[in-house]
């Protein structure tokens, strides 16, 4: 029964990263889809990417009918994103048609219907065998109509004609004051409606997407962040839908033999996540550096996110304690991505990570420190972002290590970032920095480690010219 239903309800891949996951396979094939939202939220780009990816990735020619921008304006605007509209037009894979509608001319004649548009659109579709169509935007098309009864009738006629033609069509519309669109009609006759939103909170701009309705198909119902960058639009699912990732039994080193011995297995599991917490100056970054170098020594590519130090500063500082990052960078085993958290929103940081995961395919990812993220989001937003991040790394079987700053006192473990990650992390190591007999003493304690025994003792260590040196014996 399910198989027959799947066969009868066909879908068209969107070509937009992350959107097919949310829509459970793409847009309804041969049906109209309404994309609505306020000015600047990305409607035209959304529609254009659907059209262009259909041509380049799925060999489905497309028609772009614009009522606002000329073909030259569209070509210039999308060239910055790497979309060569001129080339696609010369190959007869894309047809761009600019329809100029003057309100004054419509008022003078007193009559208005879409018969001419149908003829023009039908010719454009048939001339290249188009499978996808974009109409941008519908407000311009009906701007001269004052008769609401006639307007609603023509909207219904347009959507019915597109269905009969069998093309998958995106129609963009401006958001109304009390409805999804200005006319308040398009959302009812569309088979799929997507609302785009552009908001600014605490000086951080965020774009979000929500599927308002999707006839005949299951779909995600949350608000999903989406990003616009030089590669176009990317949508970020809020969380992984299932906990079905695989777990390795292989043991890898932390980079410190003495620390490995504190685990009954002689190390930690491959593909697991490790959280390192501690006050300022407890050597969290140094411990993370040992972990990174260990991965590079295994000839595994490592991605290091630094939110506090530049790559040069990190390389210089680690070199003073015998950790040679320069050689690993030169051999392209280590890639350091450094930026201030406030440079962009949480979603953009996550998208950058996802893109680097796809490009570099690292086996180890280090984020130092996650506590810096609280400056660009509240605790719930940071927590949701970290859950998505952990899901992504788990699914890709990537060794993950996070550092987080804590503070002195009994609230040491009561930190929003730690609360978000500690229950999800497989291994939690806490570092301390105490004063004993007028001397600074650093120590390490394994708080937890899933699936293996570990030392319950607090182990003292010092920082030497060869990195971390443990001064107490491990007792498991």
- Choose from 81-90, 214-223, 263-272 the range with maximum mean pLDDT: 263-272
Query: What's the pLDDT at 435?
Result: 83
Q: What pLDDT is recorded for position 401? A: 95
Extract the tokens encoding 327: 């050689």
The pLDDT of residue 28: 93
Residue 418, pLDDT score = 65
> What's the mean pLDDT in 334-353?
80
Q: Please write the tens of the pLDDT for every residue from 167-224.
A: 999 999 887 665 666 565 566 678 899 999 887 766 667 788 999 999 988 888 888 8
Q: Which helix (H) or strand (E) holds 464?
A: strand 459-464
SS3 content of the chain, % helix, strand, coil (to 5): 35, 25, 35
Q: Is the model's pLDDT at 100 over the cut of 60?
A: yes
Q: How far apart are CA 353 and CA 303, in angstroms?
A: 9
18-42 pLDDT, tens digit each:
899 889 899 999 999 999 988 888 8
The more confidently predicted of residues 200 and 129 is: 129
Q: What pLDDT does residue 5 have?
A: 47
Q: Is the separation of the CB atoms in 36 and 174 below 8 Å?
A: yes
Under the banding of pLDDT at 50, 70 and 90, the label for residue 105 is low
Domains along the sequence of the chain with CATH = 10-235 (3.40.50.300), 251-470 (3.40.50.300)
Residues paired with 32 in a beta bridge: 169
The continuous run of DSSP H or E covering 274 comes out as strand 273-278
State the Cα–Cα distance between residues 471 and 466, nearest whole angstrom. 14
Specify the pLDDT at position 251.
95
Q: How far apart are CA 398 and CA 420, in angstroms?
A: 19
For residue 224, what pLDDT is reported? 84
pLDDT of residue 420: 66
State the pLDDT at residue 429: 95
User: Any idea what the Cα angle at residue 253 is, between residues 248 and 255, rounded to 5°?
Assistant: 150
Q: What is the pTM of this model?
A: 0.72
For residue 373, what pLDDT is reported? 78
- Whether residue 412 is predicted with pLDDT greater than 50 in this model: the reply is no
Residue 108, pLDDT score: 44
User: Which tokens hold the place of 26?
Assistant: 């793409």
What pLDDT score was predicted for residue 424?
82
Residue 240 has pLDDT above 60, yes or no: no
Of the ranges 72-81, 145-154, 439-448, 465-474, the best mean pLDDT one: 439-448
Q: Is the pLDDT of residue 411 over 50?
A: no
Average pLDDT, integer, range 130-135:
95
E-only strand ranges, 79-231: 94-98, 132-136, 168-174, 192-201, 204-214, 224-229
Closest CA to 191 of 23, 26, 32: 32
Among the listed ranges 53-57, 215-219, 267-271, which one has the minimum average pLDDT value? 215-219
Residue predicted with more confidence, 259 or 382: 259
Nearest residue to 372 via CA among 307, 326, 437: 307
Strands 224-229 and 204-214: antiparallel
Quick one: DSSP state of residue 263?
A: B
pLDDT surpasses 90 at 340: no
Mean pLDDT of 425-429: 93
**Contacts (Cβ under 8 Å, ≥6 apart) of 418:** 275, 277, 404, 406
Residues whose CB is less than 8 angstroms from the CB of residue 100 and which lie 6 or more positions away in sequence, other chains included: 67
> Residue 408: pLDDT above 70?
no
| Band (413; pLDDT cuts 50, 70, 90) | very low
Beta strands in 56-150 (DSSP E): 62-66, 94-98, 132-136
User: Average per-residue pLDDT in the chain?
Assistant: 84
Q: Identify the three-state secondary structure at position 219.
A: coil
For 454, which DSSP code? B
Q: Residue 113: pLDDT above 80?
A: no
Residue from 166, 182, 155 nearest 133 by CA: 166
CA distance 137 to 44: 8
Element (H, E) at 469: strand 467-470
Given a cut of 70, is residue 61 above it in pLDDT? yes
Contact status, residue 18 vs residue 46, Cβ threshold 8 Å: no
Is the model's pLDDT at 304 over the cut of 60? yes
Residue 237 has what pLDDT?
62
């Amino acid at each position: 029964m399910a198989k027959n239903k799947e066969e009868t309800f066909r879908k068209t891949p969107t070509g937009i990263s992350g959107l097919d996951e949310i829509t459970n396979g793409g847009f309804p094939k041969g049906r109209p889809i309404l994309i609505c939202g306020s000015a600047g939220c990305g409607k035209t780009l959304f529609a254009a990417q659907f059209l262009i990816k259909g041509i380049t990735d799925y060999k489905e020619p497309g028609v772009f009918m614009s009522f606002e921008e000329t073909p030259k304006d569209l070509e210039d605007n999308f060239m910055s994103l790497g979309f060569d509209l001129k080339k696609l037009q010369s190959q007869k894979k894309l047809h761009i048609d600019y329809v100029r509608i003057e309100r004054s001319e419509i008022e003078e004649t007193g009559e208005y219907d879409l018969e001419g548009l149908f003829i023009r659109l039908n010719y454009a579709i048939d001339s290249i065998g188009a499978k996808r169509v974009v109409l941008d935007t519908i407000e311009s098309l009906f701007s001269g109509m004052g008769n609401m009864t006639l307007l609603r009738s023509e909207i219904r006629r347009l959507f019915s004609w597109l269905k009969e033609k069998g093309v998958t069509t995106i129609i963009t519309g401006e958001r109304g004051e009390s409805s999804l669109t200005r006319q308040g009609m398009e959302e009812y006759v569309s088979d799929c409606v997507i609302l785009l939103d552009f908001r600014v909170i605490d000086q951080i701009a965020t774009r979000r997407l929500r599927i308002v309705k999707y006839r005949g198909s299951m779909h995600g119902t949350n608000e999903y962040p989406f990003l616009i960058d030089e590669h176009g639009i990317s949508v970020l699912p809020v969380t992984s839908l299932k906990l079905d990732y695989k777990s390795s039994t292989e043991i890898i080193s932390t980079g410190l033999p003495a620390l490995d011995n504190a685990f009954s297995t002689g190390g930690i599991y491959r593909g697991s996540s490790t959280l390192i917490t501690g006050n300022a100056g407890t050597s969290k970054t140094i411990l993370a550096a040992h972990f990174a170098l260990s991965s590079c020594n295994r000839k595994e590519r490592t991605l290091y996110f630094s939110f506090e130090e530049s790559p040069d500063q990190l390389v210089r500082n680690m070199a003073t304690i015998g950790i040679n990052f320069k050689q690993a960078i030169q051999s392209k085993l280590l890639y350091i991505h450094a930026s201030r958290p406030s440079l962009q929103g949480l979603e953009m940081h996550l998208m950058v990570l996802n893109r680097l995961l796809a490009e570099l395919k690292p086996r180890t990812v280090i984020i130092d420190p996650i506590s810096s993220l609280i400056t660009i989001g509240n605790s719930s937003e940071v927590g949701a972002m970290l859950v998505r991040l952990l899901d992504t790394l788990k699914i890709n079987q990537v060794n993950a290590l996070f550092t987080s700053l804590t503070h002195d006192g009994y609230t040491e473990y009561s930190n929003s970032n730690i609360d978000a990650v500690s229950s999800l992390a497989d291994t939690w190591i806490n570092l301390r920095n105490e004063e004993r007999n007028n001397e600074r003493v650093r120590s390490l304690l394994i708080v937890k480690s899933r699936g293996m025994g570990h030392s319950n003792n607090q182990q003292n260590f010092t920082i030497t010219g060869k990195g971390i040196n443990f001064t107490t014996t491990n007792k498991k």
